[in-house]
Structure 1
Amino acid sequence: MGINPSFKNNKQSPENKKKAPIAVDDLFSELKKGNKTALAKAITLIESTHTDHKTLADQLIIQCLQLTNTSIRVGITGVPGVGKSTFIETFGSYLTQQGLKVAVLAVDPTSSISKGSILGDKTRMETLAKDANAFIRPSPASDSLGGVAQRTRESIILCEAAGYDVILIETVGVGQSETAVHSMVDFFLLLKLAGAGDELQGIKRGIMEMADAIVITKADGTNLEQVQLAKTEFKRALHLYPPKPNGWFPKVLSCSAIQNTGIAAIWDTVTHFVSTMKENHQFMANRKKQDKNWFLQAVDGLLKHQFYNTPGIQEQLKTLLTQIETNKVSPFAAAKVLIEGKTENT
């Protein structure tokens, strides 16, 4: 069957394109066929802040839910410079060579000043971006914690509906809470550098406790000796942590994305983890727990959105901010006044 005309590169005028309605059923139909253009459009739809688009996005997600739980979701994190993009390109290419379809949801850091993002992952993953069995989607992290886009969970659902077998989620890796990533993936992979020192000691324990595997990157050339020392060090460190509730003991591996070494062992570790979790019934139990957390976070987000969009709230907010600046009220007292819906006379 051919691609729906709405997804072809026709020569419509910009005005006609803006007026073209979004047909959710058609979008879902193309999505099921693995149409990359449809998948890109669907992700753009769920990322939109337009009220009408939110309604359509919800309808699309509901249809896609019937096609979920078909992939392996892998979260990948690590500090800037560890080689996440290079690793993902080599890892993703290895997976497509095994006959798997791979989706990469790469989250770029957003400037707190300009609110802009580079979104350059397709440039950094040039080879993978050209792979017919791969899909790369960079998204801005915006103000969300954990270095993930606000709609990453929905994007995962869409990628599964489009038939992708492995979904790789790359975080910005700047020391933000990685709990958000951990709460939406099956396997959490932490990339580390050998000889990087302990400048990140304050966040290392929390991330390492969540990791299902630690991979020392750039294991090539003169760096091999340091990599072996780092592997020994991390293995010792992991024995100091309490065992995971699912009974899995994190593995410590190494690889060279440039020389394409150690990549197969990493995938073997992921598949072994998944089969183990399915055997002890932890895999779907974890997915169901994640769905409940997703629900609770969605409630929090909706309450916050509805509160700030309540008539009069923005005016009250401006008044209270002025009072805080002039030391007429404390921040905590001002928050209480705003929640209770009362303002004090200035």
Structure 2
Amino acid sequence: MYDKIIDKDNPNSALKVQSALEHRPSSVNEEYVLRLKKKKERSVDEFVEGILSSDRIVLSQAITLVESSRWDHQQKAQRIIERCLPYAGKSIRVGITGVPGVGKSTTIEALGTKLTGAGHKLAVLAIDPTSEKTKGSILGDKTRMETLANDPNAFIRPSPSAGSLGGVARKTREIIILCEAAGFDIVLVETVGVGQSEVVAHSMVDFFLLLQLANAGDELQGIKRGIMEMADAISINKSELDPKRAELAARQYANALSLFPENENGWKPVVFTSSAYTGEGIEKMWNTVMEYVAQTKSNGYFYKKRNEQNLRILSETVNSALVEHFYDFPGVQEKMEKAREDILNDKVSAYVAAQRLIEEYFEGLTDKK
């Protein structure tokens, strides 16, 4: 029997699975055999139909296409996104940030469970620029949100693997579109709270929540002013550990925020204490989001911000495409290596080397015409 399923002409090949299936004994479970057979690849129409009908399996597979670096997958993903776009944009997008250990996952689980219990459909996404280096993810272990992970009205997706923060951001924006088309009316975007990840998260959400701890000493030390300026609300989390210190920290942050210039949207950032353990502040958290949405929709800022975000995506996509085209252009990698050697050997300045590379790139484009 094995003579029939081993490729003798290629000693390095594995068993021919299809041939093995054809010569299987009658005792083999037919249902299991069907699972082993190669699945038919979904068409764009099938993907769109599945997403619009809230099929989680199809949604997950579409997101995998978005995250893929394969050119054919990217082309297919873009066609799916284009078809889903008219059904997107109806959710409330909330960014949640804070340093590791501040309790983002437990807070998201407490808030998310409350929202799904009220009839909402919730998608939880992540922006984690460290995942490519550490091979980990802030949402990689779903056991940290076990209740929410098993909730039929919740969808949790780890950070897309990408080599740069810009790549993660682009993919996350596209995933938001797919989730909204699938009927999720609330999207939570969690960021690891380091580097520029907060800035990127802020650029794709409607409301931005900063979680802080009531640590000993000066509560405002170590926090970047820029993050506080982006925050629409600050929650002093894990307040059950030391309620008095948490209240003190909340007052300190509120005083600091009062010194900042008034926001363009007319919203005054709210500061409160919270605890996922006791449930304190969780309802206040969502009520604050809804108050913000109502106010900014009434004064038009909500829609203005969405439009600005879309225009920013246009610019970033063009920039990203140009950079990719430059580095993929024939001969560029070899010339880059030569330029690096010349710079390190003090034969040329980095600026001059860059100018030469760009000029040669444009000359190559002209020659191709």
TM-score higher than 0.5: yes
Q: Post-superposition shift, 1:325? A: 2.4
SS at match of 1:99: coil
- Tell me, yes or no, if the aligned pair for 1:115 and 1:142 is still in contact at 8 Å: no
Q: Post-superposition shift, 1:199? A: 9.2
- Tell me, yes or no, if the aligned pair for 1:103 and 1:159 is still in contact at 8 Å: yes
202, 205, 208: which one pairs with 2:225? 205
Corresponding residue for residue 154 of structure 1: 174
TM-score after normalising by structure 1: 0.89
Corresponding residue for residue 237 of structure 1: 256
Corresponding residue for residue 334 of structure 1: 353
1:1-346 alignment runs, 5 A limit: 11-13=34-36, 16-17=38-39, 20-110=40-130, 114=133, 116-118=135-137, 119-140=139-160, 142-145=162-165, 148-176=168-196, 178-195=198-215, 197=217, 201=221, 204-221=224-241, 223-341=242-360
SS at match of 2:192: coil
The Cα offsets for residues 34-56 of structure 1, whole Å up to 9 and x where unpaired, read as: 11111111111111111111111
* Aligned-residue CA RMSD (Å): 2.2
Go from structure 1 to structure 2 and tell me whether the alpha carbon gap of 1:105 and 1:128 turns closer, same or farther (over 3 Å shift): same
Amino acid at match of 1:206: G
Structure-2 separation of matches of 1:325 and 1:50: 34
Corresponding residue for residue 6 of structure 1: none
SS at match of 2:126: strand
Structure-1 separation of matches of 2:304 and 2:199: 18
Q: What number of residue pairs does the alignment pair up?
A: 329
Structure ID, larger Rg = 2
Q: Displaced runs of 4+ in structure 1, greater than 6 A? A: none
The Cα offsets for residues 44-86 of structure 1, whole Å up to 9 and x where unpaired, read as: 1111111111111111111111011210000010111111111
Gaps of 5+ in 1: 1-8
TM-score after normalising by structure 2: 0.84
The Cα offsets for residues 4-23 of structure 1, whole Å up to 9 and x where unpaired, read as: xxxxx994437x24xx4331
SS at match of 1:160: helix
The Cα offsets for residues 130-187 of structure 1, whole Å up to 9 and x where unpaired, read as: 0000000001464433895441100110010000011000011113252211111000
Structure-1 separation of matches of 2:256 and 2:61: 44
Structure-1 separation of matches of 2:318 and 2:94: 25
Go from structure 1 to structure 2 and tell me whether the alpha carbon gap of 1:115 and 1:191 turns closer, same or farther (over 3 Å shift): closer
Worse overlay, 25-34 or 197-206:
197-206
Gaps of 5+ in 2: 1-31, 362-369
Q: Post-superposition shift, 1:123? A: 2.2
Corresponding residue for residue 7 of structure 2: none
Q: Post-superposition shift, 1:196? A: 5.5
- Tell me, yes or no, if the aligned pair for 1:110 and 1:143 is still in contact at 8 Å: no
Structure-2 separation of matches of 1:286 and 1:48: 29
Structure-2 separation of matches of 1:12 and 1:38: 17
Go from structure 1 to structure 2 and tell me whether the alpha carbon gap of 1:147 and 1:235 turns closer, same or farther (over 3 Å shift): farther
Worse overlay, 259-268 or 324-333:
324-333
- Tell me, yes or no, if the aligned pair for 1:102 and 1:167 is still in contact at 8 Å: yes
Structure-1 separation of matches of 2:196 and 2:33: 43
